[in-house]
Amino acid sequence: MTYENILVARDGRVGIITLNRPKALNALCDALIDDLGGALDEFEADEGIGAIILTGSEKAFAAGADIKEMKDRSFMDVYLSDFITKGWERVASCRKPVIAAVAGFALGGGCEVAMMCDIIIAAENAKFGQPEITLGIIPGAGGTQRLTRALGKAKAMDLVLTGRMMDAAEAERCGLVSRIVPAEKLMEEALAVAGKIASMSLPITLFAKESVNRAFETSLAEGLRFERRMFHAAFATEDQSEGMSAFAEKRPAQFKHR
Ligand code: CAA
C-alpha cells in the first residue's frame, strides 16, 4: 500500500514506520492515524516481521493530535465519532513488539502514542509532555492513565496539570524511557534492539508481551496465574525444544517460528 503521511520500510525482520508530516511536526491528523493503522496491519500480518520501530524526524516524533483539524469540532462531533479511541488504540493493540524511537517533541498525542509502544528509546534531544491543559482540554489518548502507571501520581500530576515538557534525562530517571542515546545513534540503537527481539521465537515473544501487559490489567494473583499458563504453553512449542536443546549442545538456537 502507499501512504501519504508515513514512510514504511523494512530491515530484515524489522518493520520501520516513520511519521512523515514535517510541515506540522508530525501532528497526528486523522489521515496519518489511518496510515499508521494500515502499516501496522500489514506488518502484523507479515510472518517475516518480528518487531516494529515507530519513529519520527529529528525535530519531532509527533507534536500531538492535529490542533488545526480538531479546533472546530463540537462535543457531538467528538462524542459520536468516538474521537481518539478510534484508530489510535491500534498501536496499543499490536501483538508484535513496537519500539518507539523518539527524537525531538513527543507531546500530547505524540507522547501518548509513544507510551502505547512497548519500549521507548529516546534521543538526547527528546522532549515529552502532555500540554493539553494549555489548550483547554485534557489528554484523550491515554495520557492520564498510561503516564500515571509509568511514572506514578506525583510526576503524572505535575506534567498533566502544568503542561510542561520534560527532557530525555528526566524521562529516563522517572522510568518512561528505557535508554537514551545520542541523536545520530537513535536508529542504529533502535534497529539493534528490534533486530535482537525479532531474532527470538515469534510466538514466544507474543507470549512474553501479552504476559507483561497483563500486569497492568489484573491483580497479582491473576497475573501470576496467566503467566504460569503461558509458561506451560511455551512447552508445547517446537521453539522451546530447540531453544533448550541448542543451549545443551552449546550452539545458537535456530527457532522455527521467527
Ligand atoms: N497540530 C497542528 N499543527 C501543529 C501542531 C499540532 N499539534 N504542532 C505543531 N504544529 C505546526 C505549527 O502550527 C506550525 O505550522 P505553521 O508553520 O503552518 O504555522 C508547524 O507545525 C511548526 O510548529 P511551530 O512553528 O510551533 O514550531 P516550534 O519549534 O516553534 O514549536 C512546539 C514546537 C513547541 C512543539 C509547538 O509547535 C507546539 O506547542 N505544538 C503543539 C503541541 C501541543 O499542544 N500538543 C498537544 C495537542 S492536543 C492532543 O494531542 C490531544 C490528545 O490527547 C490526543
pLDDT tens for residues 225-241? 999 999 999 999 999 99
pLDDT at residue 258 greater than cutoff 90:
no
**Per-residue pLDDT averaged across 182-187, rounded?**
98
Ligand 1: nearest atom to the Cα of 25: 21
Helix, strand, or coil (residue 67): helix
The reply to whether ligand 1 has any atom less than 6 angstroms from the CB of 109 is: yes
Q: Whose CA is nearest to atom 32 of ligand 1?
A: 63
CB-count exposure of residue 45 (10 Å: 0-12, 13-18, 19+)? exposed
Catalytic residue among 109, 110, 142, 143: 109
Question: ∠ CA 2-87-192 to the nearest 5 degrees?
Answer: 65
Rounded to the nearest integer, the mean pLDDT of the chain is 97
| Residues 101-113: b if buried by 16+ CB within 10 A, e if exposed | bbbbbbbbbbbbb
pLDDT at residue 84 greater than cutoff 90:
no
Residue 63 CA to ligand 1 centre (angstroms): 5
Q: Model pTM?
A: 0.97
The reply to whether ligand 1 has any atom less than 6 angstroms from the CB of 140 is: yes
In this prediction, does ipTM exceed 0.90? Answer: yes
**Per-residue pLDDT averaged across 61-87, rounded?**
94
